Amino acid sequence: MYVEHEFIKPDSVEYREYQVSIAKAATRKSTLVVLPTGLGKTVIALLVIAEKLKEKKGKILFLAPTKPLVLQHTSFLREHLVLDEEEIIFFTGEVSPKKRAELWEKSTIVVSTPQVVENDLISRRINLSDVSLVVFDEAHRAVGGYSYVFVAEQYQRQRDERLTLGITASPGSEVDRILEVCRNLGISNIEIRTKYDRDVRPYVHEMNIVWKRVEVPKEFVQVVQLLKKALSVRLKALKDAGVLESSSLSTINRRKLLDAQSRIQNALKESDGRNKVFFMLATVQNEALKIYHAIELLQTQGVNALRNYFQRLRSEAESKGGSRASKRVLNDPVVVEALAYLRNLSVEHPKIKYVVEILEDQFRVKPDSKVIVFTHYRDTALLVEKSLEGRRHIKPVRFIGQASRGEEKGLSQRQQAEILEKFRAGVFNTLIATSVAEEGIDIPSTDMVVFYEPIPSEIRTIQRRGRTARQRSGKVVILIAKNTPDEGYYWSALRKEKRMRRELEYLRSEIERRVKRGGEGKVVQPVVLQQKRLMDFQTNVKENEGNGGVLVAVDHREYRSPVVKRLVEKGVRVEPHQLQVGDYVLSSRIGVERKSVDDFLESLVSGKLFRQMRELRDSYARPVLVIEGKNLFTRRNISQAAIFGCFVSIIVDYGIPIVATGDARETAEFLSVMAKREQRDEKKEVALRGEKKGMSVHERQQFIVEGLSNISAVLAKRLLQHFKTIQNIANASEEELFQVPGIGRVTAKEIFEIFRKPYLEK
């Protein structure tokens, strides 16, 4: 039996009651759909899209987090919808902005990565006022500063009649996170199905999960004991300082070390960075974390991974301004001894042997199998690939992300797509993948998934498992090294997954309870949050009306920053430019350099800061430095006196005011207020150096005079009104300059000298 719909091709979509039921609910109100992997979330999106096409109320935007997913969804929609191919288009960063603007106008359905749509919204190449439906695939990503959040906010502002559909297999284990997703996407209804539901059970395929406990080789013991000895010294120092509850090796874990880091940072903040003891403790904590990670690598990954890790530590320690903690760890005599033992180790982790055996068994029984082996580290993925090469029936290939790590190049999106296509075609039958393959790969025929190690995230665990048992039964094998962090990560993920199921069941029961009471199926808490968002929106509308017509020029390297998003939300028009100096231009005289706390401190240490300040001063009549973020005095081992001395020099020697903001939102608020004052009250246009044609003659005259020492906009106007021309100002005597109200003896002398002293190039 197939779905019958005027916009869906006949006999192309199998009829499933739960999918149709969910889709009907999702066409009435904005909905989050939570459905196990392999049960057709995309089909539900298709059914909702078809219904919106029938209404003919606007175009449809389908967002997915990666380019492979975008291409996959585009192909799926073209395959099943009764639309011409050119009506269903896709956007990625490879499509030029100009071309995207043209395609947007002509299209009916746009499938895109959210970052591209975010850029186009910021640049005002597109708007969402004519969009009737937005689909958010992998909707659990809609938290924090992810692009989904910005796009959803803009959609809610630009469209009164709007419909949102979020689809995910794993929204998270915390109610607050699930509700945050709903709030960010403007969702008031949740449709949840599990594999145990009556209407879903017939379509769930058996998944055999096997946990394989692996003994750590006795050859590793000497290295582990030496590293633990080095770690114990650090743990004792942290415990004695009161930032760690226990120095026992049997109870320590990564989370406790990170908690100690937070306590040290808080103590540094409270002391305003004046207590050097806490700086030393911060270094000790960093050393402890590095040594703990080294132990974990050897126990769970093997010798190869640990050797590569110490090589990276050495490169880090020897680099300019290298990590003090890395240097201290590598110079520790106990660690040096451990490295000597490590160099002589020839045995690898037995997990490698088990991976080979498991896959050989699988392909011996079923030669046409497809398998994914998940590893957390690229080093391990490379080792697994080499171990599987040449084995009968096994055709392995490594599948990693795009980022380059040191000398190793990542895979481009094109290379990733080619590998996946060859995997589907059977050229490769074993994918050795890092986290990049955890979501968004449509390979329904995968027969087995192997976890080289457990991971503590319940979302990622579900995503990994979901790569098998999609259209037929499958097997999952999880390798766990005994008495290592592997065991803790496994139980952590298991607890979180159970909690997620409980929270989802609670949300579903709450929906059902509200329905019975006539509450239209709305969950109480999301609706309350949604009402709050409505009030926020009304406030923003007023702000936007107040900022209409305000323009800020932004350096193209700053264009993707959270500050630009916040400016757009406030109704400020932003334009990207290749600025030679500064990050934001607010008027013909104001240029702003924005630095995060980390960037500011790094510039100070490297010596670049004062060169940048000199260029900023020389380029703008009213330069401004914004330092954004917190813990300025505790982030690096730099004395408070040195930082204050830097401030004094910037303010006094360079004449640049410093503004401190807590985050991107505060920075955007400050910039919008200043831009509004300049452009509304002072009637100044945004003009870039080299682009002065937008300024009138009197603005150019004032711009030049404002560049003189200690001359404000008010004094510049007085000088021009008194002397009529810039030439007369240059020819005036000190006494004549002193006659202008507001010009003192010192300022008159400086102006007189600046026009008469010969230029001596430094």
Contact 146, 118 (CB under 8 A): no
**Which single residue is written with the structure tokens 């240059």?**
730
Residue 194 sits in the same domain as residue 229? no
Residue 377 sits in the same domain as residue 431? yes
* CATH number of domain containing 750: 1.10.150.20
Query: Cβ atoms within 10 A of the Cβ of 672, count?
Result: 22
How far apart, in Å, are the Cα atoms of 281 and each of 7, 317, 421?
65, 19, 51
What is the extent of the structural domain holding 459?
A: 207-215+349-483
pLDDT of 617 higher than 50: yes
The pLDDT score that the predictor gives to residue 761 is: 62
The pLDDT score that the predictor gives to residue 509 is: 67
End-to-end CA distance of the chain, in Å?
A: 84
How far apart, in Å, are the Cα atoms of 245 and each of 255, 279, 284, 287, 386?
12, 19, 15, 18, 43
pLDDT tens per residue across span 81-99: 999 989 999 998 788 888 9
The pLDDT score that the predictor gives to residue 664 is: 92
The sign one gets for the Cα dihedral 671, 672, 674, 680 is positive
**Residue after which a domain boundary falls, among 310, 343, 376:** 343
* CATH number of domain containing 261: 1.20.1320.20
pLDDT tens per residue across span 455-465: 888 778 878 88
pLDDT of 526 higher than 80: no
Contacts of 131 (CB under 8 A, 6+ apart): 58, 59, 60, 61, 155, 159, 162
**Which single residue is written with the structure tokens 């080789």?**
217
Rounded mean pLDDT, 658-667: 94
CA–CA gap between residue 30 and residue 33 (Å, rounded): 10
Q: Would 645 be classed as within a structural domain?
A: yes
CA–CA gap between residue 359 and residue 371 (Å, rounded): 8
**Residue after which a domain boundary falls, among 203, 226, 252:** 203
SS3 of residue 12 by DSSP:
coil
Q: Would 537 be classed as within a structural domain?
A: no
CA–CA gap between residue 500 and residue 721 (Å, rounded): 72
Rounded mean pLDDT, 652-678: 92
The pLDDT score that the predictor gives to residue 457 is: 84
Q: Would 654 be classed as within a structural domain?
A: yes
Rounded mean pLDDT, 60-82: 92
The token duo for 52 is: 């919106």
The pLDDT score that the predictor gives to residue 717 is: 84
The pLDDT score that the predictor gives to residue 444 is: 55
Residue 28 sits in the same domain as residue 169? yes
Residue 323 sits in the same domain as residue 183? no
* CATH number of domain containing 590: 3.40.50.10130
CA–CA gap between residue 108 and residue 128 (Å, rounded): 13
Contacts of 314 (CB under 8 A, 6+ apart): 326, 330
The pLDDT score that the predictor gives to residue 538 is: 35
**Residue after which a domain boundary falls, among 298, 328, 343:** 343
Q: At what angle do helices 562-569 and 664-676 cross, to 10 degrees?
A: 50
β-strands 551-555, 430-433 pairing: unpaired
- Three-state secondary structure along 201-230? HHHCCCEEEEEEEECCCHHHHHHHHHHHHH
Contacts of 710 (CB under 8 A, 6+ apart): 747, 750
Confidence of residue 274 (pLDDT cuts 50, 70, 90): low
Q: Would 496 be classed as within a structural domain?
A: no
Residue 195 sits in the same domain as residue 226? no
Q: Would 517 be classed as within a structural domain?
A: no
Burial state string for 640-669 with b = 16 or more CB within 10 A and e = fewer than 16: eeebeebeeebeeebebeebebeebebbbb
> Which neighbouring-strand residues pair with 650?
none
CA–CA gap between residue 136 and residue 138 (Å, rounded): 6
pLDDT of 339 higher than 90: yes
CA–CA gap between residue 407 and residue 678 (Å, rounded): 48
Q: Would 501 be classed as within a structural domain?
A: no
Rounded mean pLDDT, 141-155: 93
Helix, strand, coil shares of the chain as percentages rounded to 5?
55, 15, 35
- Three-state secondary structure along 567-619? HHHCCCEEEEECCCCCCEECCCCEEEEEEEHHHHHHHHHHCCHHHHHHHHHHH
pLDDT tens per residue across span 173-232: 677 788 888 889 998 888 988 887 888 888 888 889 999 999 999 999 999 999 999 999
The pLDDT score that the predictor gives to residue 463 is: 81
**Which single residue is written with the structure tokens 């990050």?**
583
Residue 630 sits in the same domain as residue 670? yes
CA–CA gap between residue 164 and residue 63 (Å, rounded): 11
Rounded mean pLDDT, 613-631: 90
CA–CA gap between residue 288 and residue 284 (Å, rounded): 6
Q: Would 89 be classed as within a structural domain?
A: yes
Rounded mean pLDDT, 275-281: 83
Rounded mean pLDDT, 314-343: 90
pLDDT of 163 higher than 80: yes
Amino acid in the structure at residue 647 = F
Residue 353 sits in the same domain as residue 331? no
Rounded mean pLDDT, 148-175: 87
Confidence of residue 273 (pLDDT cuts 50, 70, 90): low
pLDDT of 375 higher than 90: yes
SS3 of residue 448 by DSSP:
strand
Q: How many domains does one find in the chain? A: 5
pLDDT of 469 higher than 90: no
Burial state string for 445-460 with b = 16 or more CB within 10 A and e = fewer than 16: ebbbbbbbbbbbbbbb
Residue 65 sits in the same domain as residue 158? yes
Q: Would you state the torsion angle of the CA atoms of residues 695, 701, 705, 707, taken in this order, to the nearest 10 degrees?
A: 30
The token duo for 395 is: 């055709």
CA–CA gap between residue 423 and residue 281 (Å, rounded): 50
Mean model confidence pLDDT for the chain: 86
SS3 of residue 14 by DSSP:
strand
The pLDDT score that the predictor gives to residue 184 is: 92
pLDDT tens per residue across span 19-39: 999 999 999 999 999 988 778
Residue 475 sits in the same domain as residue 364? yes
Instruction: List the Cα angle 177/128/160 in 5-degree steps.
Output: 80
**Which single residue is written with the structure tokens 């759909």?**
33
pLDDT of 406 higher than 70: no
Instruction: Tell me which of 114-123, 145-154, 486-495 is least confident.
Output: 486-495
β-strands 189-192, 573-577 pairing: unpaired
The pLDDT score that the predictor gives to residue 465 is: 84
Confidence of residue 341 (pLDDT cuts 50, 70, 90): very high
Contact 324, 637 (CB under 8 A): yes
Residue 83 sits in the same domain as residue 193? yes
Residue 54 sits in the same domain as residue 174? yes
* CATH number of domain containing 211: 3.40.50.300
Q: Would 680 be classed as within a structural domain?
A: no
pLDDT tens per residue across span 686-733: 876 534 344 568 777 887 887 786 776 678 888 999 999 999 999 999
Residue 41 sits in the same domain as residue 152? yes
Contacts of 674 (CB under 8 A, 6+ apart): 586, 590, 624
